[in-house]
Structure 1
Amino acid sequence: MLLVYSVSRFAVVRFNGATHQDGVFGLLFAAPIVPADRGPDALPLWHVPDLNDLLLHVFLLHEWNPDAWHRIDGSCWTLPVQVAAFAAAALLWRSKLHRRVRATVVLWAAMAVSAVSPLIREFAGTLPDATGMNRAYLFAAGVAIWLWQGRRLPTNQLVPLLCVTLLLQYLRTLPPVGPVVLGFAIMLGAMCAAARGPDWDVPVLRVFRRPISWLAGISYCLYLVHQQLGYILARALSEAGVSPWWLRLSIVLGAAIVLAWLLTVLVERPAHRALSGRRPPARSESRPKPQPESPVEAAVPVKETS
C-alpha cells in the first residue's frame, strides 16, 4: 500500500500538471499546487491520494467511505472483505460451531446475507460493503468448491450454490454484464475441473505447469500491484509516445509480474516466516555415515590408540 501510495503521489501530480509543495511532507502528504488555467486540451484530473486516504487504507477502513474517488487502488475493496471472511472462519473454528452447524447451512447463510445486503444498505449505508456482507457469496462459492473437491459437499448442493453465485454476480455487475458474467462462469467451471477433474497431466498442459505454478506463487502480490500501478505505467507510456496498445499492454503485464515477484520475495515470504516462526532451511553438507562391516564390529566398541 505504501508503494502504491508513493508512486501515485509522485506520478499523478505530474499527470495533472500540478507541482508538489516543498519538503518531504509536501511531496507525500500536502495538497499539490494546481494551476488555475490548465489549458483547453488538459485531461480530467486524477485523484491525488492524501494522508487521510492512506490511513483509511492501512487500517482497512476505506470501504466505510462511500466516495470511491478516494480509493488509492480500485482493487483494494477486496481487502476488508478477505479479513472479514477469514475472521468469521476463525471464529467458527475457535468456537467449534463447525461441529454443531453443517457446512451447507453456513454456505447458504452467506448467500442469504449477500442477497439481502442491498436492502441493508438502504438504512445502514456502507455497512454491507465495509464488512464484506455484499460479497460474501464469492467466499461461499470458493469454500463450496473446496468442500466438494474433498467429497465433503455433494454435487446436488454445489450446483445450486454456484447458480446462486452467478445470479448474485449478475445483479452486482456493471455493464457490459454479459461478458463479465460469462467469464465468471467459465472461471468457476475451470476451478471445478481443476479441483475434481481427471488428471490434467497431458502434453499440452505439461509445458505450462511450471510457469503456471510460479505465477500462482506470486498471484496475491500480483493482485496487489497490477491495477493502479498498471494505470500509471500505461498513461506514462502513452504520453511517452508508445502508441500500439499491444505494446503498452505487454510492458504493463511484464512490469506487474516483475514487481509482484519482488514483493513476494522481499516482503511476503519474509513476513510469513516471521509471523509463523519458520526459518528458511539451512543448507548442510551431507556426510556419509560409516557403516560397520559386520554386526560383530557394530557391537564391539573401538578403542582409540594414541
Structure 2
Amino acid sequence: MTAARPARRVSWDLLRCAFLLMVVLYHGTFIAPLVYHQFAPRILVFAHQIGASLLLALSAYFVAAGLSDPARATARWWWSRVTRLLPAFVVATLLAFAALRWLAPAGMFHPSLYNLVTNLVMLWNWNGVRHWFYVDPSYWTLPLQLMAFSLAPLLRRSRLGRGRGLRVLLWAAVLVPLAQWPLEQTAGPIYDTVADGLGLYRWHLFVAGVTVWMLATGRVRRGHGAALLATCVAAHAVQIGTLLQHGGLATDPWSVLGVGLGLLAMTAAAIGPDVAAWLPGPVVRAVTSLAGCSYGIFLVHQTLGDVLMLRLQEDFGAGPGLQLAAMLLNGVAVGALLTRFVERPAHRALLRTWDRRHEPDRLPAVSRGVRPVGVPLGVSALTTRGWGPWRTACSSPTTTGPSGSPWPGPSSSRDTRSRRSTTASARWPGRGRPTSTPWSSTS
C-alpha cells in the first residue's frame, strides 16, 4: 500500500516568501541607489543583509532533511540539485546581460562578452588578485550552494555525516572561518581570493540550517543546539563586519538581529504546527504559488529591476514608490515565466537523460529476477524502479523544495518514508564593505 502524501507545510513557503521579500527590498531600496547615483532618494530604505543569508540557512535545512537517510546521498541526488540551479541561472544571466547591454539608460554598467563568460563560469567569488564584474550581484549565493550540494552527500555517507562526527564538523565549520577572519581583513588579495572563493564568510549559515533540522528531529540536545545557533549568530555579526584600525569591529546589529530572529522562525516552523490552519485558503494558495517560483524571482529581480526602475524614473518621472512596486511585479512575472518555461522543464528533461543513461545499470539485475536491496518480498520486478540506493530523495519533480523551489524542501511521501535499505547506514553580501566598482565580488 502506498502511503498518503503528507500535506505541504505552508510555514516554510511563508518563510521563503518573507526572506525573498527582504532580498528585493535590500536591493531595490539600498543597493541600487548606492551603486547608481542617478536614482532619486528613497523614502523607504532597507539596508540590512538578512534575506539572502536566511535563504542559505533554509537551503541547508532542506538539504539535511533530504539526506536524512544516507541511502539518498547518491549521484542522482546531486544531479537533481544541480539541474535545478544551472539552466535557469544561465538563462537569467543572458537576460541580465541583454538588459544591461541594450536596454539600460546611460550611466549603468555596460558589460562586455568577456563579462558574460566570466559570469557564466561564476568567477566573481574569486575576486581579489583579479576582479570580475557581476552582471547580477544576487548570484553570489549560487557557487556556495553548488559547493554545499556537492559536499553534502559525500559527508552524509562518511563518519562526519552522523553522530559525534557531524557535531564536531558543525562546530569546526563555524569556528575555523571565525578564527581566520582577521587574516581576511589584513593578509592581502591572495588570501582574500581563496577565503572568498571558498565562501568561508557564510559557512555559519549552512551550519545554522543543519542545526535547526537536528533540533527538530532530536539529533542534538536542545542546549547544545541553542549554543551552536547562538555561535552562528555571533559569527554572522563578525563576518558581515569590518575590522577597524584600532582593532574594533564595525557591524550591522539589525542584520544580526534579523538573522537571529529568522533562525528562531525556522525552528518554530520545523517544530511547531503549520500556519496553514490559521490562514485563509486564498492566502495559502498565493503563498504556495509564490514560493514555487521563488528561485526564478531571485534570479531576475535585481538587474532587470534596476534597469526598469531607472527607465521609469528617467523616461516617465516615476517616483521611488512606483519604481519599487514595478520592480516587485516585474520580478514575480519574469520569475514565474522563468520557472515555468526554463527551470522545471529543464530539470525534468535532464533527470530523464540521467535515468536513461543509467538504466542499463539497473535493468540486468531486475531482468535476472534479483530483488534489489530494500524491496519487500513479493514485490514484482516491474514495480522496483523507485527502490534501492540508486533512487534518491529527488526521484521525481515533486521532491524539490516547496512548490517546486530549487532550494531543496519537503519531499513527497514516497521519499520521506523510511527506506529499508541495508546498503547505507557589499562587501554587500560578503562582509559589508562596498567598493567603488559597479559590482564587486562581495556584492
The TM-score with structure 2 as length reference comes to 0.52
Query: Identity, % of aligned pairs?
Result: 35
Following superposition, the deviation at residue 2 of structure 1 comes to 1.3
Match of 1:149, as an amino acid?
A
Following superposition, the deviation at residue 199 of structure 1 comes to 4.0
Following superposition, the deviation at residue 266 of structure 1 comes to 0.8
Q: Retained in 2: the 8 A contact 1:47–1:70?
A: no
C-alpha deviations, 1:154-181, integer Å up to 9, x for none?
Answer: 2212212221222222223368813322
| Residue 103 (structure 2) aligns with | 11
Q: Retained in 2: the 8 A contact 1:64–1:127?
A: yes
Q: Retained in 2: the 8 A contact 1:242–1:248?
A: no
| Residue 178 (structure 2) aligns with | 115
Match of 1:237 among 303, 307, 312: 312
Q: Name which one, 1 or 2, has greater alpha-carbon Rg.
A: 1
- The answer to whether 1:106 aligns with 2:181 is no
Match of 1:181, as an amino acid?
V
Following superposition, the deviation at residue 116 of structure 1 comes to 3.1
Match of 1:56 among 112, 118, 135: 118
| Residue 302 (structure 1) aligns with | none
| Residue 79 (structure 1) aligns with | 142
| Residue 226 (structure 1) aligns with | 301
Quick one: distance in 1 between partners of 2:100 and 2:180? Answer: 32
Following superposition, the deviation at residue 241 of structure 1 comes to 2.6
SS at match of 1:260: helix
Match of 2:227, as an amino acid?
P
Following superposition, the deviation at residue 253 of structure 1 comes to 0.5
| Residue 262 (structure 1) aligns with | 337
Following superposition, the deviation at residue 207 of structure 1 comes to 4.8
| Residue 86 (structure 2) aligns with | none
Following superposition, the deviation at residue 268 of structure 1 comes to 0.8
Gaps of 5+ in 1: 17-44, 282-306
Following superposition, the deviation at residue 52 of structure 1 comes to 2.3
Following superposition, the deviation at residue 102 of structure 1 comes to 2.8
| Residue 28 (structure 1) aligns with | none
Gaps of 5+ in 2: 1-92, 242-249, 353-394, 399-443
Matches within 5 A, 1:287-302: none
Q: Retained in 2: the 8 A contact 1:47–1:69?
A: no
Matches within 5 A, 1:42-53: 45-53=107-115
Quick one: distance in 2 between partners of 1:71 and 1:172? Answer: 21
C-alpha deviations, 1:106-161, integer Å up to 9, x for none?
Answer: 21121123313424532623111111222111111111112222222222122122
Q: Retained in 1: the 8 A contact 2:103–2:307?
A: yes
Matches within 5 A, 1:1-306: 1-12=93-104, 15-16=105-106, 45-66=107-128, 70-95=133-158, 97-99=160-162, 102-121=165-184, 122=187, 124-173=191-240, 177-204=252-279, 207-277=282-352
C-alpha deviations, 1:190-220, integer Å up to 9, x for none?
Answer: 1111111134244346552221111211111
Match of 2:155, as an amino acid?
L
Quick one: distance in 1 between partners of 2:238 and 2:154? Answer: 30
C-alpha deviations, 1:50-108, integer Å up to 9, x for none?
Answer: 22222222112221123777111111111111111222213213546425753211211
Distance 1:89 1:249, change over 3 A: same
The TM-score with structure 1 as length reference comes to 0.73
C-alpha deviations, 1:25-53, integer Å up to 9, x for none?
Answer: xxxxxxxxxxxxxxxxxxxx332222222
Paired residues, number: 251
Q: Retained in 2: the 8 A contact 1:111–1:137?
A: yes
